[in-house]
Structure 1
Amino acid sequence: MAPYASDDMTAPGEADGPRARRRRAARYVVPVTVMGVAAATIGLVPAIADSGDPDLPEITAAQLIEKIAQSDVEQLSGTVKITTDLGLPDLGGLESGLASGATERGGDGGSSADPSAKLTELASGTHTLRVATDGPDRQKLSLLENAAEYSLIHNGEDVWGYDSESNEVYHGTVDASGEDREQQPPATPEDFAEEALKSVDDTTSVTVDGTAQVAGRDAYRLVVKPKQSGSTVGAISIAVDHETGMPLKFTLTPASGGAAVVDVGFTQVDFDKPAASTFEFTPPEGAEVTEEGEPDRAREHSGKPEGAPKSGEDLAEGLGGPKMLGEGWNSVAVFDTGEEGGLPTGEAGGDLGGFLDSLGDRVEGDFGTGTVFSTRLVNALITEDGKVYAGAVTKDALVKAANQGK
């Protein structure tokens, strides 16, 4: 089917209404606390081949966004996949080793079943998951692995993580008000669509580009593109279920071309109410159970001397909220680490400086000197005066923002 000649949504007023009314969707994953900028760009599911273009009634972009806003799906079960290709630098096995070690330790000496460590595995590669949800208080996600499975279960105020490979269990609770659930990273096509549509303003083009079939269901294809130059985002495609209005697939392709950075889509979905037993969990006999907060207490009594290097978590807490430069898709977040001297790059940095130089590009400007570290979506500039500039913008746009923010 040819693309619909739909309207190009560019006026802020047209998008503000749907965004203001957008409901807080039921989540499939309970809160996790350790996710970086790159990890925040991931969801749970990749592209599947269209099995035909269904013949559906024409719809405008504004009407389709309104359809998404009015979607009230709270019960479903299905199979999803995630393929993430951020183009992270090859660290010669170091990266996978660090990730493996973090998973085994559960972050800082905690359980391997702690979701804050386990779910970081979704930041790269292809993964298959099973998901189920029954309203805002009951969700289950299972990450299928070779001869093993990791399950994350939210039932009422209880959160259970179970790693079958290590036979370890993590138990925590969520705020009864639901505030904790609002802090979790994107986890489904619906979550990603919600975040993408928040960016709709006069710097954005939004159109309806025909139809598709996803997981055997008829869907409209909504396409969101930046109008500005300088963004690393090429286009975002959202397949929206014709019947329910729920996003079934989310694909983000980079401006540089090639494979999608994030490709998320259901391979099977059922909107019937899952059985109550789906969300029940009892720790298996012999399993090691870690209660929420135990790793923190372990760190408090670790005897780490005053003045010791800060952990990544400590540094993140010290950065505070970012200052924003630019507008729309060219927005750049600025953090001041307060660490003069920046990274140990160049000859003065010795072997570590040479290693970091091999991963990034040295740049100079009105802001001074620094190093740009790049992925296919997010670029970050770390300057020698301790500032960090990060955004989904090109290296040139990042340097320009740093010069203007000086």
Structure 2
Amino acid sequence: MAPYASDDHTTAGEADEPRAGRRKAARYVVPVAVMGVAAATIGLVPAIADSGDPDLPEITAQQLVQKIAESDVQRLSGTVKITTDLGLPDLGGLESSLLSGAGRADDGGSSADPSARLTELVSGTHTLRVAADGPDRQKLSLLEDAAEYSLIRDGKDVWGYDSASNEVYHGTAEEGAARGEHRPPATPKDFAEQALKAVDGTTSVTVDGTAQVAGRDAYKLLVEPRQEGSTVGAVSVAVDAETGLPLKFTLTPASGGAAVVDVGFTQVSFARPAASTFDFTPPKGAEVTEDDELGRAAEDAERHGESGRGLAEELGGLGGARGQDGVRTIGEGWSTIAAFDTGGEGLPAAGSGGDAGGFLDSLGDKATGKFGSGTVFSTRLVNALITEDGKVYVGAVTKDALVKAADAGK
């Protein structure tokens, strides 16, 4: 992230647009949508340590964001706890598989494929072990009740291993980058960097005292929208006072209640991890799937109309390749809405009857306006309006904001 050019605020870059991909599109729609609308303007309120919190030197919000930008931690190891509560509809456990889409063994993929496994982080509470020794040696392990999934990069080699199925994925860093494959955010740094990519005057950013996280002294950066209509209440980032590394990230909704995303280190060390941490040899008897085999499996599935697209892509192409070329944005900052036309007839009207109509009625809310009628699908953060004529409006905004945008589009 580039240094700030002024004492007040400046644009640090646009939020990344969702990447198209045969099997990857729907899998990342939630993390991308959650973070993609974030923006910030830098306040100059100094941090004053509260009683009982670390007594650290005063710092302005601009200096603290600069500290994050200049952080260059190359070596670390630790444990991360991540809790995500998007308020997705209860589909009896199907929501995770719908979000992950293809890439599992039952649709021609591998259960060790990281593009499928790590989308589990979009729901529930998970414990991760992370380690890094420079940009080319990294390891992330997702700990489960009786199993473990590990993603390891050692130089050009990328390995994924699912101990439950004894399946192995193998690819190279160049292959993954060429297709735009990147794991979803998993550490406080990942989330903080995405949240601070866009910097403008729609947000108040201040320093909100100090704290201790994983035994480290930290400053607390508080990010709050100045605009009405956003479903985001606030973003809080605990920043290591010594290194500038984000240690904890919390996003709370405007509606109140538990955090939508809460991810933080419970233990962290900046010592160099042992070299053996990044060693991996497929266990005896393991099924190894090479990256190019996964690509061919996806192509075969698409040719037969069995690509296993995720729920978001099925509901009008949200986050998917369909209609992406025609995406336009309405508004700015926290009230940004992405709009596109699927080119289809939209969804069955609410109350129209039939299996499809009844199922959609149970998931969404009827919406009407000058644009006509449609259905709003809601989470605690991201809402989407899909009109009967196939137009889609989506953003971290309220239902009223989506209806207003659809009316203005007529």
Deviation at 1:352, TM superposition (A): 1.8
How far is the alpha carbon of 1:100 from its aligned partner? 9.1
**Closer, same or farther in 2 for the Cα pair 1:272/1:363, shift >3 Å?**
same
Question: Which region of structure 1 is more displaced relative to structure 2, 261-270 or 180-189?
Answer: 180-189
Offset at 1:388?
1.3
Once residues 103 and 176 of structure 2 are traced to their aligned partners in structure 1, the CA distance between those partners, rounded to angstroms, is 30
1:387 to 379, 386, 391: 391
Q: Distance in 1 between matches of 2:193 and 2:162?
A: 30
Distance (whole Å) between structure 1 residues aligned to residue 54 and residue 61 of structure 2:
18
Judge conservation of contact 1:199–1:329 (CA < 8 Å) in 2.
no
Deviation of 1:298 (Å): 2.9
- Aligned residue in 1 for 2:71: 71
Q: Please, which of 311, 328, 332 is the counterpart of residue 333 of structure 2?
A: 328
2:8 to 4, 14, 20: 14
Which has the larger displacement, 280-289 or 108-117?
Answer: 108-117
1:370 maps to 2:362 = no
C-alpha distance in 2 between matches for 1:92 and 1:247: 35
TM-score (norm 1): 0.85
Query: Quick check: 1:42–1:262 contact (8 Å CA) kept in 2?
Result: no
Task: Flag the 1:255–1:311 CA change in 2: closer, same or farther, 3 A.
Answer: same
- CA distance in structure 2 between the partners assigned to 1:301 and 1:385 by the alignment: 31
Partner of 1:47: none
* 2:193 matches 1:194: yes
Match of 1:35 in 2: 27
Q: Which residues of 2 match residues 7-406 of structure 1 at below 5 A?
A: 14-16=8-10, 19=12, 35-40=27-32, 52-95=52-95, 104-105=104-105, 108-175=107-174, 183-301=182-300, 304=303, 308=305, 312=309, 316-321=320-325, 322-340=327-345, 342-406=346-410
Shift of 1:309: 7.7
Match of 1:5 in 2: none
Instruction: Give the TM-score taking structure 2 as reference length.
Output: 0.84
1:312 partner amino acid: R
Aligned partner of residue 251 in structure 1, secondary structure: strand
Distance 1:309 1:285 in 2: 32
Measured at CA, do residues 296 and 101 of structure 1 come closer, stay the same or move farther in structure 2, by a change above 3 Å? closer
Q: 1:149 to 1:347 in 2, by over 3 A?
A: same
Counting aligned pairs with the same residue, the percent is: 70
In the alignment, residue 10 of structure 2 is paired with which amino acid? Answer: D
Task: Confirm or deny: 8 A CA contact 1:168 1:288 kept in the other structure.
Answer: yes
Q: Could you tell me which amino acid in structure 1 is paired with residue 62 of structure 2?
A: A
The worse-fitting range, judged by mean Cα deviation, of 33-42 and 230-239 is 33-42
Identify if the C-alpha distance between structure 1 residues 374 and 12 changes in structure 2 by more than 3 Å, giving closer, same or farther.
farther
2:38 aligns with none
Residue 266 (structure 1) shift: 0.3
Flag the 1:42–1:335 CA change in 2: closer, same or farther, 3 A: closer
Q: Which 5+ residue runs of structure 2 have no aligned equivalent?
A: 14-23, 36-49
Counterpart residue type for residue 197 of structure 2: K
Secondary structure of 1:210's match?
A: strand
Residues 75 and 271 in structure 1, CA contact (< 8 A), matched pair in contact too: yes
Could you list the per-position Cα deviations for residues 313-332 of structure 1 after superposition, in whole angstroms to 9, with x for gaps in the alignment?
78522322421111110000
Partners of 2:234 and 2:252 within 8 A in 1: yes
C-alpha distance in structure 2 between counterparts of 1:42 and 1:225, whole Å: 15
Shift of 1:35: 2.4
Distance in 2 separating the partners of 1:199 and 1:402: 25
* Alignment gaps of 5+ in structure 1: 1-9, 21-31, 44-49
**Aligned positions, number:** 376
Residue 146 of structure 1 aligns to a residue whose secondary structure is coil
Q: Deviations for 1:297-356, whole angstroms, at most 9, x for unmatched residues?
A: 234445955xx587527852232242111111000011221112x112334350220111
The aligned residue for residue 25 of structure 1 is none
Paired amino acid for 1:266: F
Aligned to 1:166, the other structure's residue is in SS state coil
